[in-house]
Chain A
Amino acid sequence: MTRQLHINVNILNAGVFGGSWRFPGTDGTASYTIDHYTSIAKKAEQAKLDAVFLADGPSLDPSVKHRTANNLEPTTVLARIAAQTEKIGLIGTLSSTYNDPVELARRLGDLDHVSGGRFGWNVVTTAGPVAARNFGRRGELEHATRYERAADVATQVIAAWAARTRLLSPQGRPVVVQAGGSTDGKRLASRVGEVIFSADQDLAHARAFRTELRDGAAAFGRNPDELVVLPGLSTVVGSTEAEARARRELLDNLLPDAYARSRLAGQLGFSLDGLSDDEPIPASLLVEPDQAGGSQTFYRVVKAIIDRDNPTLGQLLKKLSGGGGHRIVTGTPEQIADDIEQWFRAGAADGFNVMPDVLPSGFDDFADHVIPVLQRRGLFRTEYEGTTLRDHLGLGLPAVPALLPESEVIPA
């Protein structure tokens, strides 16, 4: 059989666009109810997707005044989805910085058992001081330290799963998912990641990124085919091109300006106060990505756009539309399928972590209209062939990664 796409839906509360929760016909607070998540998961299962994906951070998002935020803890949501579905994979984000590895290994292993082998752990290091203050810290750990700890915690957790002798999972152990585009993040992905989420605007860059990760995995003694690389893809679907463009335009207009500015300022690491919409971003304030503090992945994406296009603040805000930096495709189902197929065939992606513009309507459109096009082209399954997340992803059970050598953890 020809190589198949892997597609997840990221249930990013009300949708990836900052104005999603205000979209006409949308219940603005639906993403604060559990049924929002379980019903999208059921729809994703009907569409034969690989998995649902939940982003998370252990804090109240400071932007919550102007846009909905993640607000339910992922393992509890996924346990409920597991009770109400049979096949769909369940990927949840849990912090390696703010969880005790003993407890984490046990809980996530148990969720894998309870779900019949459908769970995947997205390892994140959790950027920012807001979460840090919920765990006794005054600020976040430096970037490199967070990633050292992530590698240490992840290898401990995987070793604990591999050592289980009871309450086992049909897929052996959970799939390890990782989403770091930084130098440190890529190293962690190469070491332990099986599914890699990335953020990329550019096909050639994405192809190079995928190649780099595969080479990195090989350097750790792994089979590069044990990696499934899924860039984030924000989708705006219309039945005609004009309709899709109008939907995008409306979303841009619904984006609360205060939210868009504060989010971009947070990503760039400096204040945008006093900068008007028609002024360019001051290049002198932009540091190199490896020097950036918070999320280097999104900093890198945004900096690349600034370096390339030198946009005004207003143009940049519109391009990002509150979505942070994931690539946005706007068009008919055929056009979106064309884009997906092009990236897939070019070796830039093994599939996508789809981030619908508005939930649930944008996902309904994607599932009802884009998925069938991909299926007709023979690029996406029409039935599940197995029951576990590893089955869906075509992943075997890799060797257990070695625990981190002490020498790597502690610079003297």
Chain B
Amino acid sequence: MTTIIQLTLSVGDPLTLADADAVTAVAQEAGVTTIRLADDGNLDPTVTAGYLAGRHHGIGFIAEVPTTHQAPYNTARRILSLDRASGGRTGIALRPGDGDEVSGGVVVGLAGRRAGEVAEDSDAGPAARWAGEGGGQVVVDRAARWAGECGGQAFVGRAARWTEYAHVLSRLWASFPRVALIGDQAAGLVVDDELIRAINHNGESYRVAGPIDGPSSVQGRPVIVADLTDELPFAAAAEYADVIVIDRATQVDQHISGVALLGRVWIDADADADADAAPVGPTAPAGLVALAGELRAWALEQRLDGFELVPRGDPDPEDLAAVLKTLVPLLANASPPGAAAASGTTLRAALALA
């Protein structure tokens, strides 16, 4: 079977949009299955995914989206829109985080009880204007006024929030099946509305009625990627993730069919940084052959389905491209390179998840 290769890019600065465009072309040629767009203070991954997918039609795109600041209905729509536009080659790397002001204004509205907790959240930023920054009663009243008549929501941990969020996404993505879009011009029927169902989710952190506004994609639903961390243990991630990414040091003793397991590999601008990382630069090729051998041994030992390549230390785009051209064919069994995500194949199929 084909080894999955996911390449992470942080787009904006110093890797510009034009650089990312060029690297994506090289990556596709080299046989990379999917580009993961990092959410690390650079350009918004859903924006860059939309842009890059408009220019590259034979590779998948995974947008990192945290739960923080993002109401699940909005996230579900954006990712599904990208997925439909890309012909079923989109996924989301859902990152555990906190709530958003729209869904969470409710919590803060409870007579200021939560105002202190929100103010301590360093990630709250200007949202706290509506959500209780400083804990002042006036500000809380303002948030409460906007929060309206919603019921209270209990505080939940990040893993539980992640699971609920992924559950809402999955259900929304199934709420308007493709077959419901009939477009019967003679009968004057756009959809078979019997097939479109509200989800009426009412959970610990979110209350979402649905259904979603557009039909499901050709790949059924977008791919969900999870990073295994202390915050998100295997059991929580595996319930909804299609792809799980682990570090070299992580031991996974469970394997679930239908979930692809990827090992994270750094591509390091500083060749001395890490023996496990792929170095870039003039001496790279010999080192890459040896590294590829080690990584394949790791893959056998941990039953990995592939690798996630993550540039570190902002390598020069041309050096990065050179590493990809050498390393990806060494890691992937794909023949010919690029066949995995060839035009017409969905991401889910390329990941052998379909």
Contacts and interface: CB of A to CB of B under 8 A. Distances in A.
Given A76-B50, A103-B70, A160-B126, A70 B148 contact: no
Interface stretch (B138-146, B253-261, B296-304, B341-349): B138-146
Given A76-B50, A111-B47, A134 B208 contact: yes
Interface residues of A, number: 68
Contacts of A256: 188
Interface stretch (A26-34, A196-204, A214-222, A228-236): A26-34
B272 interface: no
Nearest to B214: A71
Interface stretch (B52-60, B221-229, B234-242, B323-331): B52-60
A409 B142 contact: yes
A313 B185 CA distance: 25
B7 interface: no
Contacts of A98: 71, 73-74, 102
Contacts of B52: 83
Contacts, number: 201
A306 interface: no
Nearest to A74: B81
Given A136-B206, A149-B146, A73 B189 contact: no
20 contacts: A28-B184, A58-B74, A58-B77, A58-B213, A60-B210, A60-B212, A66-B189, A67-B190, A75-B46, A82-B51, A101-B127, A130-B209, A135-B103, A136-B103, A138-B149, A145-B146, A149-B146, A152-B129, A156-B126, A409-B142
A160 B69 CA distance: 15
B185 to A, nearest CB: 4
A84 B54 contact: yes
B311 interface: no
Nearest to A66: B188
Given A76-B50, A136-B207, A65 B127 contact: no
Interface string A29-65: 1001110001000000000000000000011110011
Interface centre among B84, B106, B183, B215 (most CB of A within 10 A): B183
B43 A76 contact: no
B250 interface: no
B235 to A, nearest CB: 27
Given A34-B85, A58-B213, A68-B190, A107 B148 contact: no
B138 A61 contact: no
B100 interface: yes
Which 9 interchain pairs have the tightest Cβ spacing?
Answer: A79-B50, A83-B54, A71-B214, A133-B209, A28-B183, A29-B183, A103-B69, A80-B54, A34-B85
Q: Which of B69, B139, B210 has the most CB of A within 10 A?
A: B69
A107 B214 contact: no
B213 A70 contact: yes
B145 A32 contact: no
Contacts of A33: 84
Interface of A: 21-22, 26-29, 32-34, 38, 58-61, 64-73, 75-84, 97-103, 105-107, 110-111, 113-114, 130, 133-139, 141, 145, 149, 152, 156, 160, 166-167, 256, 406, 409-410
B126 A107 contact: no
Contact of B70 (A22, A34, A100): A100
A60 B176 contact: yes
B12 A410 contact: no
A139 B55 CA distance: 41
A114 B17 contact: yes
Nearest to A61: B213
Contact of A114 (B51, B148, B209): B51
Given A21-B185, A136-B206, A114 B69 contact: no
Interface string B63-92: 000000111011001101110110000000
Among A33, A66, A67, A97, which residue has the most Cβ atoms of chain B within 10 A? A66
A99 B149 CA distance: 18
A71 B54 contact: no
